[in-house]
A and B are shown apart, each in its own frame.
Chain A
């Protein structure tokens, strides 16, 4: 395996190491490193996990322990955009569960799955903290949707399939 090309580039490793001065222990950089890898590869494959461990000078098992706890880092790539549809109380009272079902039905997938064209992953979420928009959804580029109904869910899905929009949002 020694000759196998590395998944994490030297630039990414540098980016991870740059966070070391922030914490008294290197292990504390586990979550930030996992987020970086997730953002770059849209997943955290086992090899990347082992390489994070190498950079942080801890064992792969320690990284895996953390990574598997959160249910946030899939091992196979998700879609270009990940959207969470909220199912917690305030959203549920206003139809959140049904809207999640509607969204998945329209895309022909189950919650947690990605569309065959690889553009969109739909997941359920417990409270997203955007209850002023309930029933609400959140895309992983920061876009907030809601209050939703079936028509606006359709419009949202079309918009999200057009790709990410990572803009800096102001407080307006």
Chain B
């Protein structure tokens, strides 16, 4: 890489970068004018050729997604996923606060390409300032003729509406988002049909991430080959990486796809804090798993992270943990998050995330058993597994931290269990028997090979499962 010229962030340092005046003075909306003077299919073709992949987490090719829309459709909706809730991710927020017009221009071009005349920005409620800034930017763009009827005399109409969420992680899943937009609980839908065929309000719908659409004006302006000159094979273009956790400077930086965690820590985040060493890092939001200290040179792109067993690039939100961090605390935190955010629709996820949380909580408070690690690993290996036992990928996100941590830090976890034993936190014989089944009435437990038989007091059984005495 000779010299990398940041484009997505090029206006961020300017005073009033959120205003139309500044954006237009920097050549803003020129790409949209160019796009709207051509035809939608050629825009789709250019984006497809650029091999732009979705920045929201799954990395699906954007142009290809657009081609799934039925050719004979009468109406199309665009939904922009601004529900950004993956822990440690904040790049979309900064985009919307610092340069809302570049984002709106990306929406305009993408809507023209997909023939959508209504776009909904689904914005998480917590982005209060972004909401205010976007509201103003939309009004400005409308007054200046970048939105509304017959934009630039092209005959193309577009309205953009802001739709605020209400604090649910699951609404970042594209069909959960659609359900929520429709005024329902944010339960992901069974696919197929995919949103491109039947999405919002049962109409063909495109759901794209904020940063994905931010790339589009630049692809139109500079061409697909420019875009492909940045990054690494199969992962082209600039990417906004965020770094937080145990670093000196928590930042959001624009870099070519394929930088390493170590580069991010050392060159952009001012190193690990307090002069310590990194113990590991989360590569792209907690759903993606965990990199150990010797995996920090793996390129953060869409393909390479499978090598060290991570789920993928995710949102490219890196969280760094120093060498004094307990892996048990890390697991406790991720399990608590997913148990809280599971939407409750699919049993394996609803029950599984809660179960994993309870187990790691017990281990953390001194009631762990070595065999718990095997149980947790078994659960992690069976929860989700796209496509598998659940409708969406939340369960996989919950499983991956456990899968990676047990594989990479088993020694530390075992040590923790051995050295952190507190009698009060241990599993009791009664709990054990309840968990594994009891034959109520005669007070005996089902036999288990690894446990001495326990006699349950009849009173305990009666308390738990009251039923009339047989005559």
Contacts and interface: CB of A to CB of B under 8 A. Distances in A.
A168 B136 contact: yes
B164 A32 contact: yes
B164 A35 contact: yes
Contacts of A134: 244-245, 250
Contact of A94 (B118, B128, B245, B330): B245
B242 to A, nearest CB: 7
B16, B159, B167: which has the most chain A beta carbons within 10 Å?
Answer: B167
Contacts of B403: none
A125 interface: yes
B201 A84 contact: no
Contacts of A93: 245-246, 319, 321, 325
Contact of A31 (B88, B163, B169): B163
Nearest to B182: A28
Contact of A35 (B98, B166, B319): B166
Interface string A23-41: 1110111111011000000
Of the four ranges (under 10, 10 to 19, 20 to 34, 35 or more), the interface on chain B belongs to: 35 or more
Interface in A83-114: 84, 87-90, 92-94
A32 B128 CA distance: 14
B89 interface: yes
A97 B372 CA distance: 25
Interface stretch (B63-71, B218-226, B333-341): B333-341
B207 to A, nearest CB: 16
A158 interface: no
Contacts of B184: 27, 30, 62, 65-66
Interface string A109-128: 00000000000000001111
A9 interface: no
B169 A126 contact: yes
A57 to B, nearest CB: 12
Interface in B109-155: 118, 124-129, 132-133, 136
Contacts of B86: 127
Contacts of A172: 15
A126 B166 contact: no
Given A70-B168, A73-B166, A131-B242, A27 B319 contact: no
Contacts of A141: 128
Interface string A137-153: 01011101000000000
A138 B126 contact: yes
Contacts of A70: 165-168, 185-186
Contacts of A140: 128
Contacts of A71: 167-168
B183 interface: yes
Contact of B201 (A25, A73, A90): A25
A129 B85 contact: yes
B18 interface: yes
A72 B125 contact: yes
Contacts of A69: 168, 185-186, 343
Contacts of A4: none
A30 B163 CA distance: 11
A27 B183 contact: yes
A55 to B, nearest CB: 12
B84 interface: yes
B360 interface: no
A75 to B, nearest CB: 15
Interface in B232-255: 242, 244-246, 250-252
Contacts of B282: 89
A139 B469 CA distance: 57
Contact of B319 (A90, A126, A144): A90
B97 interface: yes
Given A28-B183, A132-B252, A172-B15, A90 B166 contact: no
Contacts of A84: 126
A170 B18 contact: yes
B9 to A, nearest CB: 12
A129 B90 contact: yes
B18 A171 contact: yes
Nearest to A139: B128
A89 B124 contact: no
B409 interface: no
Contacts of B15: 172
B161 A130 contact: no
B329 interface: yes
Interface of A: 22-25, 27-32, 34-35, 56, 62, 65-66, 69-73, 84, 87-90, 92-94, 125-134, 138, 140-142, 144, 168-172
Given A32-B163, A73-B166, A131-B242, 19 more contacts: A25-B201, A27-B184, A32-B164, A35-B125, A70-B165, A72-B168, A84-B126, A87-B333, A89-B334, A93-B319, A93-B325, A94-B246, A129-B124, A130-B93, A131-B90, A132-B90, A132-B242, A132-B252, A171-B18
28 contacts: A22-B159, A27-B182, A27-B184, A28-B181, A30-B183, A30-B184, A31-B164, A31-B166, A31-B183, A66-B183, A70-B168, A87-B336, A88-B286, A88-B337, A89-B282, A89-B334, A90-B88, A127-B85, A128-B126, A129-B84, A129-B85, A129-B90, A132-B252, A133-B250, A138-B126, A142-B132, A171-B18, A171-B99
